[in-house]
Amino acid sequence: MWYFSDEEKQLQKVCSDFARNEIAPHAEKHDTEETFNIEAFRKMGELGVLGITADPEYGGAGMGALAATMVMEEFGKACPGLTLSYLAHSILAVNNIENNASAEQKAKYLPKLVTGEHIGCMGMSEPEYGSDAVGIQTRAKKDGNDYIINGTKMWITNAQYSDIAYVYTRTGEDRKNLSTFILEKDKGHYEVGKPIHKMGMRGSPTGELIFDNVRVPSEQMVGEEGSSIYHMMKNLEIERLTISGISLGIAQACVDQCIKYANERQQFGKNIGEFQLIQKMIAEMATETEMMRNFLYNLCYRYDQGEKGPVTAAMAKLQIPKMATKIALDAIQLHGGYGYSREFPVERLMRDNKLNEIGAGTNEVMIMIIAKNLLSQK
């Protein structure tokens, strides 16, 4: 069974304080204005969490999925949008480079990413290839010692603020012939398209990466040409565990808000918490959140112990965001008219959480993964 080590407990305390002092007070503003809390993001570098899974040799914390998911929960309670940007940086960019890049590439890119001097993003989805990610059509064609890249990446968290992009491309006709590049914005390796306006996660910038005949030296490639499919699938596992951590944080924040409100709000001459209908809602959402926490952290612990594979991560990603949406909708309901207004955070938490049923693979794709793997077991 999972447990937090002393180091993880210490980190949880630090992250909880940071979320309360540096993130929460600005969350509503960044949601309303669709802006990015870059000050808090850079300070996460000082906190030591931007390279949570990276090797200490490059300035990382050298911790695992359990610690990373715990950070997501703590930050997610305060501002899921900023936490999603943190995830795109630390898990999609940094963790991928840590696990797949050469020693030279790591030495070149990780130190600035873990301090927050550079911001990272990852490019996988395209306008026509979302759920069907392996079908991507952004092409990298060998030309002498360089590659010429053409195509567009869509839904890229951090695109507008990124310095480094970890990008998947097609290098051959075979469906699985995919290759990865680490690209630098300063060197003109990519352009950023228009920002995308969203229902929630508005504190997290989303944009397009555009490649219009860009020439990139072959040393930007990660690993061998055509060999990326395995590590693309591999990183999705930790991505799905950690993004579920954001939903866990959202669910816990909703429970906390509801308890506070039910003890304050008076109707019919008493606190609404004295009504059984309200008690049922709170008891159920708190129970579900506790189940989510134990399910998720247990899977993370097992992942860190070496028990990897697509199924359990997909199970967490299917169940936890779905339950969190239900909890957040109930939290609005419990707050009545106030819950629908932007004076209370629960409507934002609900809008933010809906993304987690779509991003990193939709619920429907999770079902496909789980079923396909289970049905093909002999």
User: What x/- string results for residues 193 through 212 when contact with another protein is judged by CB under 8 A?
Assistant: ---xxxxx------------
Q: Alpha-carbon distance 98 to 71, whole Å? A: 19
Q: Alpha-carbon distance 89 to 221, whole Å? A: 19
C-beta closer to another protein: residue 291 or 367: 367
C-beta closer to another protein: residue 170 or 189: 170
Q: Alpha-carbon distance 163 to 186, whole Å? A: 7
For 295, residues 6+ apart whose C-beta sits below 8 A from its C-beta are 316, 319, 320
For residues 129 and 135, is the Cβ–Cβ distance under 8 A?
Answer: yes
Q: Alpha-carbon distance 124 to 111, whole Å? A: 24
C-beta closer to another protein: residue 34 or 225: 34
Set 126, 208, 239, 347: catalytic member? 239
Q: Alpha-carbon distance 254 to 330, whole Å? A: 9
User: What x/- string results for residues 68 through 107 when contact with another protein is judged by CB under 8 A?
Assistant: ----------------------------------------
The reply to whether 166 sits near another protein by the rule CB under 8 A is no
* Options 32, 137, 279, 287; binder of another protein; rule CB under 8 A: 32
The nearest distance, CB 349 to another protein, in angstroms, is 11
The nearest distance, CB 25 to another protein, in angstroms, is 18
Q: Alpha-carbon distance 247 to 321, whole Å? A: 5
The residue type of 325 is: T
- Subset of residues 330 to 359 that bind another protein, contact rule: CB under 8 A: 332-333, 336-337, 339-343, 347, 350-351, 354-355, 357-359
Q: Alpha-carbon distance 304 to 324, whole Å? A: 24
128: annotated active-site residue? no
The nearest distance, CB 94 to another protein, in angstroms, is 23
How many residues line the site for another protein (CB under 8 A)? Answer: 45
Q: Alpha-carbon distance 344 to 346, whole Å? A: 6
C-beta closer to another protein: residue 118 or 348: 348
C-beta closer to another protein: residue 214 or 365: 365
* Residue 141, φ and ψ in degrees, nearest 5: -115, 130
Burial class (CB in 10 A: 0-12, 13-18, 19+), 224: exposed
The nearest distance, CB 169 to another protein, in angstroms, is 19
The nearest distance, CB 13 to another protein, in angstroms, is 33
Q: Alpha-carbon distance 361 to 100, whole Å? A: 21
User: What x/- string results for residues 115 through 154 when contact with another protein is judged by CB under 8 A?
Assistant: ----------x--xxxxx--x------------------x
C-alpha 176 chain-centroid distance = 25
Residues with catalytic roles:
239
- Rule CB under 8 A: which residues touch another protein? 32, 125, 128-132, 135, 154-155, 196-200, 266-269, 277-278, 325, 329, 332-333, 336-337, 339-343, 347, 350-351, 354-355, 357-359, 362-364, 367-368
